[in-house]
């Protein structure tokens, strides 16, 4: 294959560089060489006709569970990367709640080796804040950074010890490292399994009040202001959380945040008749919370859309609701669900693209997220008007746990390019091992 590729006459939307219009994109040796409003003629280039398609920076997902090592029956790094590129993601950040936990150089090196073997998308590492995610003793942060970790997080476990959280925020500054947090006060959430409200009362299920999240956001904003650290709030789900993050940003605190498609699309009524595919943590909230999260996405309070892609086996979901595992897969549905906000008039296409590209890149200081000359040739080509129906049986992910099975979506990934290599096209993985 030629190392020179010309993506011709697509609508390039590149929020960081203020580009929205028909352009030619020239790629040489894995990097963007030129983005031209005038048609280019380049000898020996492979020409890809992108007429009628969107040519976007490759999507970046800050919050993905690849399950390897330890739970390869749910997902492997290879199948997770396949799901990523099928969803238009050219980079993912792998969470540390593997078995064993990624709290050591050994596990980090294992994940990196598997990612190189998969050879599909960029896989960045998140290391644990505390050893074994136990919330008791800090992991070796310097070693994790040396092994390539781009953030630290205890993922789905909150750091309940405020003193330990304070020290983590202080120590992470030595490495300019974001501390990513799952905000949940366990004394408030208790044994809750869904949002506390009318739906939980109707179903007779124990609820989790919004204060379980909001109280922890408030605590961490206090710690952030005192330490001057760098905080990233994962999967924001509550109106109160959005308000606190907005206020913190106005006061100049170094905080970023993400929201997931399931939290800005579905409310707690989606639990319906005990549908375990709608069980997640934080839980689905109310319509009012959804509107607040959407407002946060639009006004910049929330910086990125992340999927919290969390594969689970069939037997972990086909049980009573209160016994089911939390989480949904999301890499292959994120684009269509995000574009539904554009179709509803909630946000512009440019803002939606920014939330999938520039926003996450800036939040963690990652390469990519834009298409300026010299940037990595990580590109997602989208058919914006293509309609399709979510069929979980056709996922590249090894797991099928999604509440969106059967939903009609508009907007489909046509091609995914990573470092100038075509890795996904028209429903097929083009390169792997």
182 is in an annotated binding site: yes
Query: What are the phi and psi torsion angles at 247 (to 5°)?
Result: -65, -40
**Cis ω on the peptide bond leading into residue 5 (within 30° of 0)?**
no
122 is in an annotated binding site: no
Q: Which residue has the tokens 């011709």?
A: 8
**Coil/strand/helix, residue 222:** helix
Instruction: Report yes or no: 181 and 231 within 8 Å, Cβ to Cβ.
Output: yes
Residue whose C-alpha is closest to residue 280's, from 324, 313, 338: 324
Q: Which residue has the tokens 């080796």?
A: 113
**67 assigned binding-site residue:** yes
Residue appearing with tokens 């028209």: 426
* CA–CA gap between residue 8 and residue 431 (Å, rounded): 22
**Residue 188 counted as an annotated binding residue:** no
Residues ≥6 apart with Cβ < 8 Å to 229: 169, 170, 172, 173, 179, 223, 254
- Please provide the distance, in angstroms rounded to a whole number, between the alpha carbons at the two ends of the chain: 17
The Cα–Cα gap between 224 and 220 comes to 6
Is 63 labeled as ligand-binding? yes
DSSP code, position 95: -
Question: Can you tell me the distance from the alpha carbon of 224 to that of 64, in angstroms, rounded to the nearest whole number?
Answer: 25
Q: Is 405 annotated as a binding residue?
A: no
- In this structure, are residues 10 and 55 in contact, taking their beta carbons and an 8 Å threshold? yes
Ligand-binding site membership of 65 (annotated): yes
The Cα–Cα gap between 38 and 50 comes to 15
DSSP per-residue string spanning 112-152: HHHHHHH-SSEEEEEE-SBGGG-SSSB--HHHHHHTTEEEE
> For residue 308, which of 281, 284, 335 has the smallest C-alpha distance?
281
Query: For residues 93 and 126, is the Cβ–Cβ distance under 8 A?
Result: yes
Instruction: Report, as residue numbers or ranges, the catalytic residues.
Output: 308
Q: Is 263 annotated as a binding residue?
A: no
Crossing angle of helices 162-172 and 211-227, in 10° steps, is: 50
Locus of tokens 């429903």: 427
Q: In 3-state terms, what secondary structure has residue 91?
A: strand
Query: Known binder of ligand: residue 378?
Result: no
Q: Which residues are annotated as a binding site for Zn(2+)?
A: 63, 65, 155, 182, 235, 308
Known binding positions for substrate: 65-67, 97, 281, 312
Binding-site members are: 63, 65-67, 97, 155, 182, 235, 281, 308, 312
């Amino acid at each position: 294959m030629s190392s020179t590729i010309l993506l011709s006459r697509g609508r390039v939307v590149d929020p960081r560089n203020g580009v929205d219009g028909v352009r030619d994109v020239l790629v040489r040796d894995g990097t963007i060489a030129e983005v031209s409003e005038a048609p280019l003629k380049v000898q020996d280039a492979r020409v890809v006709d992108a007429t009628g398609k969107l040519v976007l920076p490759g999507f970046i997902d800050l919050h993905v569970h690849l399950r390897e090592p330890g739970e390869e029956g749910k997902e492997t790094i290879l199948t997770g990367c396949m799901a990523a590129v099928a969803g238009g993601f050219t980079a993912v950040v792998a969470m540390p709640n593997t078995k064993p936990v990624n709290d050591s150089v050994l596990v980090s090196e294992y994940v990196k080796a598997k990612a190189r073997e998969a050879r599909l998308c960029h896989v960045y590492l998140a290391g644990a804040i505390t050893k074994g995610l136990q919330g008791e003793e800090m992991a070796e942060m310097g070693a994790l950074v040396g092994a390539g970790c781009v953030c630290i997080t205890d993922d789905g476990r909150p750091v309940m010890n405020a003193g330990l959280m304070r020290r983590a925020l202080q120590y992470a500054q030595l490495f300019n490292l974001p501390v990513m947090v799952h905000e949940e006060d366990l004394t408030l959430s208790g044994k809750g399994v869904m949002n506390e409200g009318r739906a939980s009362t109707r179903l007779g299920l124990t609820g989790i009040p919004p204060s379980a999240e909001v109280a922890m956001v408030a605590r961490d904003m206090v710690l952030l202001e005192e330490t001057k650290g760098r905080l990233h709030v994962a999967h924001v789900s509550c109106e109160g959380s959005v308000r606190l993050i907005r206020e913190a940003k106005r006061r100049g605190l170094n905080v970023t945040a993400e929201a997931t498609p399931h939290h800005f699309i579905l409310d707690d009524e989606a639990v319906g008749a005990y549908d375990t595919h709608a069980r997640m943590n934080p839980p689905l909230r109310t319509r009012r919370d959804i509107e607040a999260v959407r407002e946060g996405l639009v006004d910049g309070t929330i910086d990125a859309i992340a999927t919290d892609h969390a594969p689970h086996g069939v037997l972990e979901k086909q049980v009573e609701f209160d016994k089911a595992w939390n989480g949904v897969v999301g890499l292959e549905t994120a684009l269509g669900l995000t574009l539904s906000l554009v179709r509803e008039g909630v946000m512009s296409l440019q803002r939606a693209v920014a939330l999938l590209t520039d926003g996450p890149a800036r939040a963690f200081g990652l390469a990519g997220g834009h298409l300026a000359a010299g940037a990595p040739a990580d590109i997602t080509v989208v058919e914006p008007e293509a309609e399709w129906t979510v069929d979980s049986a056709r996922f590249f992910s090894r797991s099928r746990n999604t509440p969106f099975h059967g939903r009609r979506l508009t907007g489909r990934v046509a091609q995914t390019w990573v470092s100038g290599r075509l890795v996904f096209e028209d429903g097929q993985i083009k390169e792997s091992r």
